């Protein structure tokens, strides 16, 4: 096998972008400059890339902004990684900048909160689904907004299509979360996400970390962030944030507790020499990093591209942990893939590198069933795109259904989904074949 995964983009590649052609390295690596110059509107995109994109593409983007459920925010680093000669096919552009011409009608079973996180939230800002693990959401903003965000119901500012749900954004609400966790001795594992932990000021990062470490039964913590993939320079120039994370990791280790960083690389192109320098900072501090990718159409849904991503992550000492099926959220049907695609790619990737550097491909079961091995379905109707999962240790006796994107089905199957009565019959048949007789046990 070749070692092309070692070949990382270097040099002042951002000079190819008109707005950045005079920007020196020190400025480009300044995380505050990156935040201030992030693109949030079509007008800012035009001003940044200027003649690199056609007027037709820009008009397509303008219409895409209006129809997207997520606000748009893209760092200069990510903008500089896009191939603006072929923006429609570019994997970075596809993740962050919507174009109206690519959008597809939503599957009729799509919702904003596809994982039913709000239903499993005992106090605002906390999701308690698994017995010993909870998800803490102390912030609702990110350094970049992903089009495919599973929390498009809450993250970022309101859009023309979505009024956002409030998360636990104040220290008072955080203390309510800490009190709940302290009252549940079975909770040993806490994920701190949001939003994005990258956006927590250092003092709040330490406040949250120390408060959780002070709870005796909390044994593990994971700070989750997209940041290293789209703004790795923060780890090079925001010493206060890195120091705060290091203090929590070191204190946890002294207490026999495990504190790690979870991040989110989706495309091999997101990994550059800047990324390598940033990951070496964390490695040198003894901070373990795991990666959670999402399987995205046109980004990483070809076996060779996923293999390249996985091996490139391992090269940087980032542990490829999960590859998720794209959640069944509204407004991004053009990015979803089929269950079969995930099964096929996992077969290809497995065996190409060490087992501990091979991610588990999972379906986060719609309706709150939690993460299931993608191939562990009880029944999979490939013709009509219906996969039925169960989760006996999460919600015993219930069934959870993942629906493949309709446009990837045969013309005959697509036609069946346009008839509600026929669609219900297909779902009933799939549940029966999975052994589910009481359909009240399937989340609405």
Give per-residue pLDDT as tens, 404-440: 999 999 999 999 999 999 999 999 999 999 998 877 7
Indicate if the pLDDT at residue 86 is higher than 90: yes
Predicted local confidence at residue 164, as pLDDT: 42
Give the integer Cα–Cα distance in Å for 395 and 410: 33
- Per-residue confidence band for 338, with pLDDT thresholds at 50, 70 and 90: very high
Mean pLDDT across the stretch 266-270? 98
Q: Quick one: which of 195, 176, 252 has its CA closest to 218?
A: 252
Give the integer Cα–Cα distance in Å for 78 and 48: 12
Mean pLDDT across the stretch 213-220? 98
Share the mean pLDDT of the chain.
Answer: 92
Show the tokens assigned to 364.
């986060």
Which residue intervals of 68-122 are DSSP H helices?
76-81, 91-96
Mean pLDDT across the stretch 361-390? 96
Predicted local confidence at residue 152, as pLDDT: 60
- The answer to whether 46 and 355 have CB atoms below 8 angstroms apart is no
Give the pairing of strands 258-263 and 289-295. parallel
CATH for 118-375 (3.20.20.80, 3.20.20.70, 3.30.300.30, 2.60.120.460): 3.20.20.70
- The answer to whether 151 and 112 have CB atoms below 8 angstroms apart is no
Burial environment of residue 356 by CB neighbours within 10 A (0 to 12, 13 to 18, 19 or more):
exposed
DSSP letter for each residue of 283-335: HHTT--EEEEEEE-TTTT-SHHHHHHHHHHHHHTTEEEEEEEEPP-BTT-GGG
How far are the Cα atoms of 14, 39, 52, 219 from residue 21, in angstroms, in the given order? 7, 16, 13, 48
E strand map for 15-169? 126-127, 133-136
- The answer to whether 314 and 289 have CB atoms below 8 angstroms apart is no
Indicate if the pLDDT at residue 15 is higher than 50: yes
Predicted local confidence at residue 346, as pLDDT: 98
Give the integer Cα–Cα distance in Å for 374 and 342: 7
- Per-residue confidence band for 168, with pLDDT thresholds at 50, 70 and 90: low
| pTM (whole model) above 0.85 | yes
- Per-residue confidence band for 162, with pLDDT thresholds at 50, 70 and 90: low
- The answer to whether 178 and 217 have CB atoms below 8 angstroms apart is no
Give the integer Cα–Cα distance in Å for 374 and 45: 37
Indicate if the pLDDT at residue 163 is higher than 60: no
Cα 214 versus chain centre, distance: 29
Predicted local confidence at residue 110, as pLDDT: 78
DSSP letter for each residue of 263-278: E---SGGG-BHHHHHH
Could you give the 3-state DSSP secondary structure of residue 190? strand
Residue 12 neighbours by CB under 8 Å, 6+ apart: 25, 28
Give the integer Cα–Cα distance in Å for 405 and 335: 9
Indicate if the pLDDT at residue 161 is higher than 60: no
Indicate if the pLDDT at residue 153 is higher than 70: no
Beta bridge partners of 320: 291
Give the integer Cα–Cα distance in Å for 91 and 409: 23
The residue extents of the domains of the chain are: 4-101, 118-375, 377-444
Beta bridge partners of 370: 365
Among the residue ranges 6-10, 136-140, 210-214, the one predicted with the least confidence is 136-140
Q: Quick one: which of 174, 251, 246, 186 has its CA closest to 218?
A: 186
């Amino acid at each position: 096998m070749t070692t092309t995964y070692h070949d990382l983009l270097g040099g002042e590649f951002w000079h190819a972008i008109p707005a950045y052609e005079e920007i020196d390295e020190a400025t480009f690596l300044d995380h505050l400059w990156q935040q201030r110059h992030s693109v949030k509107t079509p007008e800012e995109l035009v001003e940044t890339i200027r003649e690199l994109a056609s007027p037709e593409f820009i008009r397509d983007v303008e219409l895409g902004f209006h129809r997207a459920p997520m606000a748009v925010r893209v760092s200069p680093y990510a903008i500089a990684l896009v191939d603006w000669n072929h923006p429609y096919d570019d994997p970075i552009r596809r993740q962050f900048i919507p174009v109206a011409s690519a959008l597809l009608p939503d599957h009729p079973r799509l919702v904003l909160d596809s994982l039913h996180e709000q239903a499993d939230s005992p106090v605002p800002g906390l999701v308690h689904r698994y017995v010993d693990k909870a998800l803490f959401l102390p912030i609702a903003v990110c350094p970049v907004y992903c089009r495919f965000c599973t929390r498009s119901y809450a993250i970022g500012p309101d859009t023309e299509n979505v009024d956002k749900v409030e998360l636990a954004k104040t220290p008072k609400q955080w203390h309510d979360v800490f009190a709940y966790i302290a009252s549940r001795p079975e909770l040993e594992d806490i994920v701190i996400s949001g939003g994005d932990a990258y956006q927590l000021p250092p003092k709040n990062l330490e406040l949250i970390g120390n408060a959780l470490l002070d709870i005796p039964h909390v044994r593990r913590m994971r700070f989750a962030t997209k940041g290293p993939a789209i703004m790795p320079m923060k780890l090079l120039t925001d010493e206060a944030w890195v120091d705060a994370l290091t203090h929590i990791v070191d204190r946890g280790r002294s207490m026999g507790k495990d504190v790690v960083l979870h991040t989110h690389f989706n495309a091999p192109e997101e990994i550059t020499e800047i990324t390598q320098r940033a990951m070496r900072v964390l490695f040198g501090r003894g901070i373990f990093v795991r990666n959670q990718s999402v399987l995205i159409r046109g980004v990483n849904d070809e076996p060779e591209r996923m293999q390249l991503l996985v091996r490139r992550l391992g090269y940087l000492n980032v542990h490829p942990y999960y590859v998720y099926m794209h959640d069944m959220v509204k407004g991004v049907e053009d990015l979803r893939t089929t269950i079969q695609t995930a099964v096929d790619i996992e077969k290809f990737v497995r065996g190409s590198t060490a087992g501990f550097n091979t991610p588990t491909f999972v379906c986060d079961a719609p309706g709150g069933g939690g993460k299931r091995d993608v191939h562990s379905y009880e029944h999979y109707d490939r013709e009509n795109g219906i996969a039925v999962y169960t989760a006996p240790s999460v919600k015993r006796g219930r069934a959870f259904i993942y629906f493949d994107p309709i446009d990837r089905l045969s013309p005959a199957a697509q036609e069946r989904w346009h008839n509600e009565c026929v669609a219900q019959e297909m779902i009933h048949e799939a549940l029966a074949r999975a052994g589910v007789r009481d359909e009240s046990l399937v989340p609405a």
